[in-house]
Amino acid sequence: MTPLKRFYNLLKLDKKDVYQILFYAAFAGLISLSLPLGIQAIINFIQSGQISVSWIVLIFVVTLGVAFGGILSLMQLRITENLQQKIFVRSSFEFAYRLPKIKFNELYNRYPPEIANRFFDTLSIQKGTSKLLLDFSTALLQISFGIILLSLYHPFFILFGVLLVLLLYLIFKFSFAQGLQTSLKESTFKYKVAYWLQEIARNNNSFRKSLNFDYALCRNDGLVNDYICYREKHFGVIKKQFLQLILFKVIITAGLLSIGGYLVLGQQMNIGQFVAAEIIILLVINSVEKIILGLETFYDVLASVEKIGIVTDMELEQSTESVNGITAESDIVLETDNLCYRYPESDKDALHNINLRIEQGEKLYVSGANGSGKTTLVRVLSGFLQPDNGAFYINDGSYNKINKDYYRSVIGFVMQGESPFEGTIRENITFNDPNITEEKLKWALDSVNLTPFIKTLPEGLDTILYPDGRQLSASNSQKVLLARCIVHEPKILFLEDPTDKMDEPSAKAIIDFLFSEEHNWTVIVSSVNHYWKSKCSRQVIMDNGKIAEDLKL
């Protein structure tokens, strides 16, 4: 989809507001062009040397027209403000809805926070769209009405209109594609600079060393140079367009003043018509200048729409309404049949011909060397990765045909790389779920031995956590994630090294709780801590993407 098509689709969502802006712009254009006609009539009255009621009425009407034009502009501002708010709200919810549902393959080799940064292009779209709708609509209508009005004074002015239309056409034809391309490139390197600054901020301790600091500045210098290069190319397009405008203004101004003076001297126009025609010409030229200067905003808006379009084009997970026998009371059985999975851009399967059946309540320990496929297996079984070939069944129903949201509601997980988000400890554990009672929350906190730490906090569970749980120790961060994992008392727990940051006694206490006989949940764990293995009833050993051994313990 082209950037222009994306922008059109964006405006189509609020076409009622756009039509209102155009309607008011048409009225404002007519009123602004009535000003020269009023001045022409006033001059004619002055030339007659008589003061009449008609002269006074004309002055009043012209003044009233100026005031009414201002009111119309204010009404346009109100509508564009509403439009900007709608664009912001719609874009924020679009991102909030899509980011958690984007398929893993779409985000492979991408940094999700960098993708989320595309949201800031919404601000460019807000301001740019408002400016374009106000300035372009008014300018285009003024040009159209002005040319029609001038043609009534003398046929010569029709040539002026033709030249004007030809100028705008040539500017768009020969520089629009280049202007849009350089704007997109400029935007690309703008994001690369922002992403690198984000990396410096995220790893600020690593860049404190003098050598590393110099590297950070050198890399930033390279990215900024690329940005400046394309920025300069984009400015070259804008400069060329403006030079064409200056040349046009010089030729038209000189020509029209000369021809207009000649027509007055030849008595083909009176002095009032001449003054009115020159005012209209100045209004038209100013409108053309407004359009040319506004092209940079137009390029920026199209580039921003295209950048956001990259996110909205990403494929989302699909889910059906069917739950295939999964209920809060039913057991859940997982089964794979020759299941295969390959990471994007890889030429080798990470999982190959996996055949596995896991009954409700089983405790499965997944082990293997680095790169053997154990983490990939856990993530496929949890539904975070979609198998490429073979089948994955949940209670005899294909995973592709079940309600994935419901499946995830009955499982708990702690994945590598996961961390607390900015919000209270309570929100991090419960997500403000009204079904989680205070008793159930207390049970989860006690179970992971987090209660003593909570009691030391002045705000308790209402303590605000920083992003990544910065003010927490690594072990307490893991405890928050484990409490979140078990608070719903799920059917299955998927765990990836969930206690590797804890001291041995704390880790053993939590493992003993998770494997106590009072819980019938299935546990599928991948960890280097062999104490997990001693508690499991079964071990799957992965090797080179295949199940090397499936042992009863």
For 43-68, what is the mean pLDDT? 64
Looking at the structure, do residues 351 and 497 belong to the same domain, yes or no? yes
Worst-scoring range by mean pLDDT, 83-87, 318-322, 407-411?
318-322
Task: Identify the band that residue 249 occupies on the pLDDT scale cut at 50, 70 and 90.
Answer: confident
Neighbour count for residue 399 (Cβ, 10 Å): 20
pLDDT digits (tens, 9 = 90+) for 211-228: 999 999 999 999 999 999
**Phi/psi at 423 (nearest 5 deg)?**
160, 180
What domain range is 278 assigned to?
3-312
C-alpha to C-alpha distance for 477 and 483, rounded to whole angstroms = 10
Q: Residues 142, 287: contact at Cβ < 8 Å?
A: yes
pLDDT digits (tens, 9 = 90+) for 274-313: 777 777 777 777 887 788 878 888 888 998 998 898 888 8
Task: Identify the band that residue 43 occupies on the pLDDT scale cut at 50, 70 and 90.
Answer: low
Looking at the structure, do residues 78 and 196 belong to the same domain, yes or no? yes
Number of helical (H) and strand (E) elements in the chain, helices listed first? 18, 12
In this predicted structure, what is the pLDDT of residue 412?
Answer: 94
In this predicted structure, what is the pLDDT of residue 57?
Answer: 65
Looking at the structure, do residues 236 and 99 belong to the same domain, yes or no? yes
For 70-94, what is the mean pLDDT? 86
pLDDT digits (tens, 9 = 90+) for 349-392: 999 999 999 999 999 999 999 989 999 999 999 988 888 899 99
Does residue 318 belong to any structural domain of this protein? no
Worst-scoring range by mean pLDDT, 30-39, 110-119, 364-373, 458-467?
30-39
C-alpha to C-alpha distance for 45 and 225, rounded to whole angstroms = 63
Looking at the structure, do residues 268 and 354 belong to the same domain, yes or no? no
Looking at the structure, do residues 283 and 406 belong to the same domain, yes or no? no
Instruction: Indicate whether 55 pLDDT > 80.
Output: no
Looking at the structure, do residues 298 and 376 belong to the same domain, yes or no? no
Shortest CA distance to 105 belongs to which of 415, 310, 341, 371?
A: 341
Higher pLDDT, 102 or 60: 102
Task: Identify the band that residue 320 occupies on the pLDDT scale cut at 50, 70 and 90.
Answer: low
For 92-117, what is the mean pLDDT? 87
In this predicted structure, what is the pLDDT of residue 281?
Answer: 77
Higher pLDDT, 546 or 24: 546
C-alpha to C-alpha distance for 110 and 104, rounded to whole angstroms = 10
Looking at the structure, do residues 273 and 366 belong to the same domain, yes or no? no
Looking at the structure, do residues 375 and 494 belong to the same domain, yes or no? yes
Shortest CA distance to 226 belongs to which of 195, 260, 254, 258?
A: 195
Enter the DSSP assignment of 497: S
Looking at the structure, do residues 22 and 66 belong to the same domain, yes or no? yes
C-alpha to C-alpha distance for 77 and 125, rounded to whole angstroms = 16
Q: Residues 27, 72: contact at Cβ < 8 Å?
A: yes
Domain CATH code at residue 416: 3.40.50.300
Average pLDDT score over the chain? 85
Does residue 329 belong to any structural domain of this protein? no
Counting Cα atoms < 13 Å in the Cβ hemisphere of 407 gives 25
- What Rg value do the Cα atoms of the chain yield, rounded? 34
Token representation of residue 406: 């419901």
pLDDT digits (tens, 9 = 90+) for 147-168: 777 777 777 777 777 777 787 7
What SS3 state is found at 456? coil
In this predicted structure, what is the pLDDT of residue 162?
Answer: 79
Task: Identify the band that residue 32 occupies on the pLDDT scale cut at 50, 70 and 90.
Answer: low
Q: Residues 112, 195: contact at Cβ < 8 Å?
A: no
For 407-422, what is the mean pLDDT? 90
Q: How far is CA 183 from the centre of its chain?
A: 18
Looking at the structure, do residues 363 and 233 belong to the same domain, yes or no? no
For 174-201, what is the mean pLDDT? 87
Domain CATH code at residue 95: 1.20.1560.10
Q: Which helix (H) or strand (E) holds 365?
A: strand 363-368
Looking at the structure, do residues 440 and 483 belong to the same domain, yes or no? yes
pLDDT digits (tens, 9 = 90+) for 499-547: 999 999 999 999 999 999 889 999 999 998 899 999 999 999 999 999 9
Worst-scoring range by mean pLDDT, 425-429, 446-450, 465-469?
465-469
Q: Residues 461, 424: contact at Cβ < 8 Å?
A: yes
In this predicted structure, what is the pLDDT of residue 172?
Answer: 77
Shortest CA distance to 339 belongs to which of 524, 547, 106, 107?
A: 547
C-alpha to C-alpha distance for 421 and 430, rounded to whole angstroms = 12
Instruction: Indicate whether 132 pLDDT > 90.
Output: no
For 231-279, the three-class secondary structure string (H helix, E strand, C coil) is HHHHHHHHHHHHHHHHHHHHHHHHHHHHHHHHHHHCCCCCHHHHHHHHH
- Give the CA angle between residues 179, 184, 185 to the nearest 5°: 100
Instruction: Indicate whether 272 pLDDT > 90.
Output: no
Task: Identify the band that residue 444 occupies on the pLDDT scale cut at 50, 70 and 90.
Answer: very high
* Number of domain units in the chain: 2
Q: Which helix (H) or strand (E) holds 502?
A: none
pLDDT digits (tens, 9 = 90+) for 164-185: 778 777 777 778 888 888 888 8
